[in-house]
Each structure stands twice: as structure tokens, then as C-alpha cells.
Structure 1
Amino acid sequence: MDSDGRSARFSAPDPEDPLERVVVSISQYETYGPTYENDQQNDQPNDQPYAAEDPRDYVDTYRPAYETQHEVPYETHPEAATEPQLPRPLPPTIELPGAFGGRAEARRAARRQKAAERPQAVRRLVPRALVVAFLAGGTTAFVADDKAIELTVDGKPRTLHTFADDVTELLADEGVEVGAHDIVAPAPGTPLTSGDEIAVRYGRPLHLTLDGRRRTVWTTARTVDGALRELGVRAEGAYVSAPRSKRIGLEGLTLDVRTERTVTVMADGRARTVRTNAATVREAVEGAGINLRGQDTTSVPPGSFPRDGQTVTVLRITRTKEVREEPIAFGVRRTPDASLFRGTEVVEQAGQPGMRRVTYAHRTVNGVRSKPRPLDSEVVHEPRTQLVKIGTKPLPAAPADVDDLNWSALAACESGGRPGAVDPSGTYGGLYQFDTRTWQSLGGTGRPQDASAAEQTYRAKKLYVRRGASPWPHCGGRLHT
């Protein structure tokens, strides 16, 4: 208690705080009773301002308001209220022996005077008591609605007092905006009670390349390490492009992560299994202690991303070149000739093949030679086209008696029935073994063995008309069989 009798917890109230003013006002009314003017003057407390009196001494002094308009009105505001101005007590009664009944009569008169004064003081104190009760009830409700809440926004905690009913209203009062990727716990709309803890975690875009696959994810973690744990990424032995303690701002972060994988490398007849977080197959192969030389490569593209459990085969490659000379076939051009009988072909110009020089590449993979692949081609000399004349002249009709001879028997005897037959000396040829001079004298061109069988028979009949069977001394008798 302080020197004025007030509770120490209400000392030095804040004049700007209405709640302090209400509490102080209530405390004053709880602590002090009414003070009378004569008490202030005498600086003595009134011990019994409302002491009970003998009912027989009570005198009803109540008068209606219209009869007491001369009285000073009471100010009901706690801060503007003044102490009620009660009538000053009568001076002490001088006790005279035998006058008006002595001391007893004097005491009865004093009590009657106090009883007359008390209703007036009570009437003045009733409005003041009602104001105090109203303020006390309002203060109790005010204090009951106030809640102490711990709000943590993106890892920054603070304790505040609020009259909000739920989480949504509190966030709106505090100006905290949340989006689709943010987390609020407890959920918006949850009712609030004093002592609750509310956490708001903002979402951050993370442009993540995880084991060669790019994607954008959202995380509420504030560090790289927290984001990896939140996403369930195995960080042990992994390559991370940023320090794990690096903070992730609200604008997000670009992050490259390569987890540790198992890769088997087959090379030179041996298998090697390694754990690696390499970015390419080439790096994984080199990490296994295998060097790629010259044109060596791998069974999968060397620049591709190595997958967990993948088997990579190293291909040892050698290349050689070979030059070959190859012939070029000549072409044949046939032209019709009306001077030749139908079915006759005469080679006017013999064809001649050409030649080209071709360079081939030979590829050997792990000792196995593949099919040659042409790299370059050069023509050494061009081929010469063969020219052939084709007869279109109709065959003349032979005499009837000549047609009845056995020409097939003659041909079988002379050449075995073969139109292209040539004797060992090369002088005679064809079905009927003409020599070149005789053939040409009968109108034939070229060599007889190159003419058709029909033309050869026609020339043989013509020769028989001229000379009979004498041109065929050994087989001429077959014509008449």
C-alpha cells in the first residue's frame, strides 16, 4: 500500500490508457468510503459513516426531487466527480443540568439530526455507485476478450495482445498476407484462445535440377538444407551447387543437386562398380580409373546423365583406310537398221569397261571389324559404250521346193543345231558353218554366228539355190532324208 492507502499495483497510471483510468477509478471506490467536509477540516476519519441507528430514532426526511432543486447535482464521470457536499454537523451540545432532560436528551437529539442527514447522502451516492458498477463490469469484459498470442512469421516470433476471434481475423489485423504456397498453423478460421501459438511460413520457388531433371517446386524451408529435407532428397554424398546453410529468400533460388549413384563400367574385359555423383557418363568412367583414348567412346552417349544401377561399356575403337580399284560396266546402245534382216544384230562398236578408285574406312570395335564404309571415289577412266544395230528388214520368201528340204538335219550335222557355234580354227560359224566371205556374198553382214537362226537358214537356202548341196560335202545328203 502507498501513503494514500491505494494498492501498489495501481501506482503511476498511464493517463493516456483508458483501461488504467478505469482500474484506478475502481480501485479508489473499492478502497475509500465517503468523506465528509467536516472530516477534511478536522483531518479525522469518520469511523461510522453508516452506523446502524435505533429504528425508534429514525425520522423520514425524504423529499421529492422537485422539492430539492436547490441542491448541487452530482457529476457522474469518475474523473470529474467531486466528494458530495454534506451538511456540516451541528456544534456540540452543551449539557446543562436539568435542562431538556440532561445528557440523554442531548444524545437523542444528535441521533435524530444524523438520521435526517443520512438519506440525503445515500441519494447522492447511488448514481455514483451505479457508474462504478458499470465501469467495473465493462473492464472485466474488456480484460476477458483480450488474448495473449505468440505469432511467428517466417521464423520471427513475437507476442501480442489481440481481440481477434480466429486465426484469419488475427492475420488480417496484423497485415500478414498468405498465398497458395504459404502454410498457416493452425489453419485459418481456427478459434483463438489466450496462450495460442500461430506460425506462418512463406513459400519460396526453388528451380531445382535433381539428377539431370529440371523442375520448379515450392518450399517453406528458409535454408538449402531445410529444403532438401522437406523434399526428401538424400543429401549424403550428393553434389549441391550452393552451401547447405545458404538462406533462401522469398524470391527463390536456383539449385543443382546430384545424388550419389551406383554405376558399373565394363572396360578391357573387366567390370568396375563405383559410387559417383558425376554429371556425365564420361566423368563416371574417368572416376572409375578408365581413360578414353582417341576415338574411344561408350555404349551410351558420354555426355548423358548416369543413372543409378546403370551399366556402361567402354568401346575401344580403331579406324583404318583401304583403297580399291573397281571396274565400271559399259553401257549398250541399240539402234534399228533397215538394211539388216529382221532378227539380225550387228555390233558396230564393242564396249569397254571403265575403272574407279574407291577409298574405304574400316572400323574395329573391341577387336571386331565392322563392314567397310566408302569415304571417297575417283574415276580413273570412263567406260566405252557398245553400239549394236538391230535389223528390221523383212526376210524374202524362199522357193517352195527349197523349203521342203530337211534343213534341221543339215544344221544338226554341221553345228549340232547351235546358231552361235564356231569351229576350232575360227573360220566357220553359225548353224550351217558359213565362212565370212560366203556369208557376206549372200547379203549377210558381220559374222554369221551373230545372226539369228532364221536369217542363217534363209542364207543357207539362198546358197543351196546357187550351188546346191556342194557347200556341205559331208552333211549335204541330210537335206533329202
Structure 2
Amino acid sequence: MADSLPVAGPPVAGLGTDVDAGPGDHDAGPGQGQGPGAQGGRAASRRAAAAAGGRKRSARGAASRPGAGAGAGAEAGAQPVPQSPPRTRSAPRERGADPLRRLLPQALVVAFLAGGTSAFIAGDKAVQLSVDGKPRTLHTFAGDVDELLADEGMAVGEHDIVAPGRHHDLASGDRVIVRYGRPVSLTLDGERRQVWTTARTVDGALRQLGVRAEGAYLSASRSAPIGRKGLDLDVRTERTVTFMADGRERTVRTNAATVREAIEQAGIGLRGEDTTSVDPESFPREGQTISVMRISADEETREEPIDFSTERHEDPSLYKGTEVVSQRGEKGVERVTYSLRTVNGVKQKPKKIRSEVVRPPRTEVVKVGTKARPTTVQGAEGLNWNGLAQCEAGGRPDAVDPSGTYGGLYQFDTHTWQSLGGAGRPQDAPSEEQTMRAKKLYVSRGASPWPVCGRKLHG
């Protein structure tokens, strides 16, 4: 669209002015951005002017014909010609109407041209268009802001600003402002987010986004421009952080990215295994209180036992309920190294850091009998073994006397029990096995092993 547009043609001076103007006198040249209504008005004006010109030329030719009027002959110096007698019809009225017929088309053309030119001038508006702070003045026939932007080939999106609104009607002298949105990948105090701004500099964007920049760290200078493609911006605002170290409290203002960096700014050094109550690489927050822990470390090595495992194998040569240890288990030895830490003077629980086996443990092997046990002993059947068991142990297979020497239903001592083929202790064997071995003892020694309760066998 052209920045300015010429007026459609010179004003008509009067009815006697020659309106037969050449083509293009009333047209703005091609490409002037005029609307279809204006072009139609100019074409009609040209057709009316052409018609008026033809009538004018016809009138001039009529005046040169013989008898056109006495005035013409007198100007040439000719002798007077005798006049014919007057006719009865009103010839003078016809001659008087002829000038009116000549002037009426010209008046119509002049009126039409004046109206078309006024409409053309009224539709043209001078407006100021400012795009991202760069203003320019232009002439437009657009009816509203949206039409103006379309004529200028300007596309606007949801993040752009157009003022006044896109559907606001335009008048001459109006100002239209367009500000394009710019994407900013903002990392503010360690938190990343995507934002939009119409500001053209980092400083303007910070003000627009409400970010407090005094004392802050900025990854780009505040005067740096922001292009239409946007930019990445890292901002760390100034925060108040308190450190507790070596029995003292220190408060600092910092825009550090990590706790470790803030500690250094506070003049507190971390040595060896010293650390803080929060991760030293974490982001320090506003109002945070952080403790510095002084750590001293040492190592200690100890030899500790390793428990052995037990394997059980079935043995058909042993009676059911009988278990025999064929290989005794032995504990192993493990050498373990512990880290001993002291935090701010307080000893911590030892922490195992490495170990090695000095002697492996030996597995214990137990044979478990599966052989069916005999239920009778010749020479000992038919006796009251239940009465003897009740008298000796109250009928309890696991009974043990107060001295711990005798056990089981029949109160065997361990030596006697094992001499009869029993394994382990008598009180650990099943009731059937205890009765069977008591019968064997009776066959070899009678009731004498039970001097008090032996009489129960026959009663």
C-alpha cells in the first residue's frame, strides 16, 4: 500500500469549463490501493464527460450553419438581409430552450464528478502504525485495524499485542500499535519455565515479568536485545541464607547457584570430609538455615565369627527319631574394617566399609534315622511300663530331675542311655524309644535301676 494517495482530479471551475479531459486525469495511477467503489465512480465520470463533450461539439457546429443568427453576419460585415414575416408558432421559445439543453448534461457531469471526488477523499485515512516501537505514517482505505493489518501483510498471534483492538474502527489520525511476543526460556532460581514477553530487551522483560533483578545474577546483560526468536535467560535473585558453623552463626546475602558456592562467599571453608546438613550442590533458598558439619574419620579392623550352617541327611541304619552328628560344625573368622566418624565432636555408629574371610566356617552334618524301631523286647513284655513312667516322671517324656542328671520317662542318666544304644540325651528321644531301651535295661538288670518305683512294673 502506498504511503500517500493523490487527489482524484482538479475541481471543476464552472459550467462553461471544458470537461473533456484526457484519460487518466481523474484516476490515481495503478497500484494506489483504491477500492472498487472509487474506481466505479471514476469510470462513470469519464463516460458522462465524453457524452457532454459530444453534445458541446454538436452545438458549435449548429451555430455555423446558414441562418444560425443575425449576429454572425453582422460580425462578418455582410449587408442586412430582409426578414421573413413572423410565424404563428412559437419559434423563439424553441431557440430559447436550446442553450438549456446544452447546459443540462454539463451540469450533471460536474455534479457527478464532484460527488465521486468527495467520496474518494473521504475514504482515504492518514494513520500512524507503530510496530515494535518503530512508527510510520501511511494512507489507507481500511475500515478497521484488522483490515489494516491484513493490507500490510502482518500476521499476529495470541502472544502479540494490538492496540486498539483488532476490530476497532479506523479514523484519520488514529495510531495503531503492534508489539510481537517473544519466547523466553527462563530459569528463575533453579526452576525452568517457558514465558512470553513483548519487551525488546532483557531489562524490559524482567520488569514485565515482575522479576526482582536488583543484586541478581543474569546470564545476559540487562541491555541485551530479545529477538523475535527469543532467548534463554538464567536469573538467580539475591537471597538471605544463614550458616551455623564452628559454633557461630553467619548470615549472608547471595545469588549463588549452590550451597557450596554460598559457603565460600560466607568465608567458611569445607575441609576433608566436611559437609552440610543439605546437599552442598543443592540450590540455597531464601531464609534457609544450613549447618556445617565438621567430620573427622578413622578406621578400625576387627575379627568376627562366621556362623556355620547345618546339613541333615537321612540314614537308614539309624532308628527313626535318632539323629547323629557325623561332622561337627565350626565357626569361621571374618576380618572386618569399620569407618569411625566423629561429627562436630560426636562419635557416630561404626560403618562397615570392607571385609575378608580369614577362615571359612565348617558345615555341621547330622544323620537322621529312618529305620523302623522294634516295639517288643523278649523277657520284658507284659509289665506295667506306663505305671513305672508315671511314678518316675509323671508320664512326661522330656522330664529332667532338679540336678539335671536324669531325664526322660524312666529317668536315665546319659551314660546308661548311650550304653543301651541311645543317641544324645534320653529326654530328647521319642517315648517309644525310651520305653524300648527301658525294657532292655530291665532284661539285663531287672527292676534295680528303679529302687523306689520298680515295684510298679508288677502292680
Does 2:253 correspond to 1:253? no
Question: In structure 2, what is the equivalent of residue 149 of structure 1?
Answer: 127
8 Å CA contact retained: 1:346, 1:388: yes
Mapping of 1:263-342 within 5 angstroms? 263-333=241-311
What CA distance in whole angstroms lies between the structure 1 residues aligned with 2:335 and 2:63?
141
Counterpart-to-counterpart distance in 2, 1:382 and 1:18: 109
Taking the aligned partners of 1:235 and 1:194, their CA distance within structure 2 comes to 42
1:220 touches 1:227 (CA, 8 Å); kept in 2?
yes
Question: In structure 2, what is the Cα distance between the partners aligned to 1:267 and 1:174?
Answer: 66
Residue equivalent to 2:62:
70
Instruction: Write the deviation string for residues 348-388 of structure 1: whole angstroms up to 9, x where unpaired.
Output: 54443322222222333333333323222222223334455
CA positional deviation for 1:186: 0.4
Tell me, yes or no, if structure 1 residue 464 matches structure 2 residue 445. yes
Q: 1:394 aligns with which of 362, 374, 380?
A: 374
Q: Give unpaired runs (5+ residues) of structure 1.
A: 1-16, 35-64, 73-85, 93-116, 423-429
Q: Match of 1:270, as an amino acid?
A: R
Which deviates more from structure 2 when the two are superposed, residues 355-364 or residues 240-249? 355-364
The size of the alignment, in residue pairs, is 377
Q: Displacement of 1:239 after TM fit?
A: 1.1
Aligned mate of 1:202, from 156, 160, 180: 180
SS of corresponding position for 1:192: coil
Paired position in structure 2 for 1:421: 405
Give 2:189's aligned residue: 211
Contact 2:412–2:426 (8 Å) recurs in 1: no
Q: Secondary structure at the match of 2:147?
A: helix
| Displacement of 1:68 | 8.4
Query: 1:476: how far off?
Result: 5.1
Cα distance, 1:144–1:433 mapped onto 2, change above 3 Å: closer
Task: Please give the per-residue CA displacement for 1:83-112, whole angstroms capped at 9, x wherever unaligned.
Answer: xxx9698599xxxxxxxxxxxxxxxxxxxx
- SS of the aligned residue for 2:221 comes to coil
> CA offset at residue 294 of structure 1?
1.8
Q: Which amino acid aligns with 2:271?
A: R
Which of 1 and 2 has greater Rg? 1
**Residue 178 of structure 1: how far off its partner (Å):** 1.7
Q: Residue in 1 aligned with 2:118?
A: 140
Q: Secondary structure at the match of 2:119?
A: helix
Equivalent residue of 1:229, what SS?
Answer: helix
Report the 3-state secondary structure (helix = DSSP H, G, I; strand = E; otherwise coil) of the residue aligned with 1:70.
Answer: helix
Contact 1:184 1:200 in 2 (8 A): yes
Task: Identify the residue that residue 342 of structure 2 maps to in structure 1.
Answer: 364
* CA distance in 1 between partners of 2:309 and 2:266 (Å): 60
SS in 2 for 1:169: helix
Code of the residue aligned with 1:305 in structure 2: it is: F
Structure 1 residues 215 and 410 mapped into 2: Cα distance closer, same or farther (>3 Å)? closer
- Conserved 8 A contact 2:299-2:337: yes
Cross-structure match for 2:10: 22
Shift in alpha-carbon separation, 1:137–1:386, aligned structure 2, 3 A: closer
Q: 2:272 aligns to what SS in structure 1?
A: coil
Structure 1 residue 248: Cα displacement: 1.1
1:202-225 CA-to-partner distances (Å, cap 9, x unmatched) read 111111111111122111111111
Which whole-Å CA distance do the structure 2 matches of 1:235 and 1:66 have between them?
Answer: 86
- In structure 1, how many angstroms separate the alpha carbons of the residues matched to 2:220 and 2:435? 97
Q: Residue 22 of structure 1 contacts residue 135 of structure 1 at CA under 8 Å; is this kept in 2?
A: no
CA distance in 2, matches of 1:220, 1:125: 64
Tell me whether 1:374 sits opposite 2:339 in the alignment: no
Contact 1:402 1:461 in 2 (8 A): no
Does the CA-based 8 Å contact 2:311-2:363 persist in structure 1?
yes
Question: Over residues 150-206 of structure 1, what are the superposed CA-to-partner deviations in whole Å (9 max), with x where a residue is unaligned?
Answer: 111111111122222211222222222222221110001111122111111111111
Residue of structure 1 in register with 2:199 after alignment: 221
- Work out the CA distance in 1 between the residues paired with 2:149 and 2:389: 124
Equivalent pair of 2:8/2:117 in contact (CA under 8 Å): no
How far apart are residue 136 of structure 1 and its match?
3.4
Taking a change above 3 Å as real, the CA distance of residues 143 and 282 of structure 1, as seen in their structure-2 partners, is same
Q: CA deviation at 1:400?
A: 5.8
Counterpart-to-counterpart distance in 2, 1:358 and 1:195: 91
Q: Identify if the C-alpha distance between structure 1 residues 142 and 278 changes in structure 2 by more than 3 Å, giving closer, same or farther.
A: same
Alpha-carbon distance in 1 for matches of 2:140, 2:186: 40
Structure 2, unaligned stretches of length 5 or more? 19-56, 65-70, 78-94, 395-399
Aligned with 2:63: secondary structure? coil
Alignment RMSD: 4.4
Separation of aligned partners in 2, 1:88 and 1:295: 133
**Displacement of 1:227:** 0.9
1:49-93: CA deviation from partner (whole Å, max 9, x where unpaired): xxxxxxxxxxxxxxxx99986238xxxxxxxxxxxxx9698599x
What's the secondary structure of 1:22's corresponding residue?
coil
Q: For structure 1, which segment, 378-387 or 455-464, has the greater mean C-alpha deviation from structure 2 after superposition? A: 455-464
Q: Which amino acid aligns with 2:221?
A: P
Find the residue that maps to 1:283 and give its secondary structure: helix
TM-score of the superposition, structure 1-length normalised?
0.64
Q: 1:152 & 1:198 partners in 2: Cα distance?
A: 6
Is contact 1:347–1:388 with CA below 8 Å preserved after alignment? yes
